[in-house]
Amino acid sequence: MTTNTPRKSHHHGNLRAALVQAGIDILGSEGLPGLTLRKCAARAGVSHAAPAHHFDGVDGLRIAIACEGFDRFRAAMLDAAAQSPATPRAQLKAIARGYLAFARAEPALYDLIFSFRGKLGLNDALELASAPAYQVLRDTCAPFVPPGTDPVVIETQVWALMHGYVLLLFSGRFHETGAPDDGILALLDRVGTDPTP
Partner DNA sequence: ACCCTCATCTTGACAGTGAAAAGTTTACAC
Partner DNA sequence: GTGTAAACTTTTCACTGTCAAGATGAGGGT
Q: What are the residues binding DNA (CB under 7 A)? A: 9-13, 15, 36-39, 41, 46-50, 52-54, 57-59
- What 3-state DSSP class applies to 123? strand
CA distance linking residue 150 with residue 178, whole number of Å? 35
Min dist. Cβ of residue 112 to a second copy (A): 12
- What 3-state DSSP class applies to 102? helix
DSSP calls for 56-77: SHHHHHHHHHHHHHHHHHHHHH
Which of 36, 78, 77, 61 is CA-nearest to residue 126?
61
Residue 47 or 149: which CB sits closer to a second copy? Answer: 149
Of a second copy, DNA, none, which one does residue 120 interact with (CB within 5 to 8 Å by kind)?
A: a second copy
Min dist. Cβ of residue 139 to DNA (A): 37
Task: Report the interface residues with a second copy, using CB under 8 A.
Answer: 31, 111, 114, 116-121, 150, 152-154, 156-157, 159-165, 167-168, 170-173, 175, 177, 180, 182-184, 186-187, 190-191, 195-196
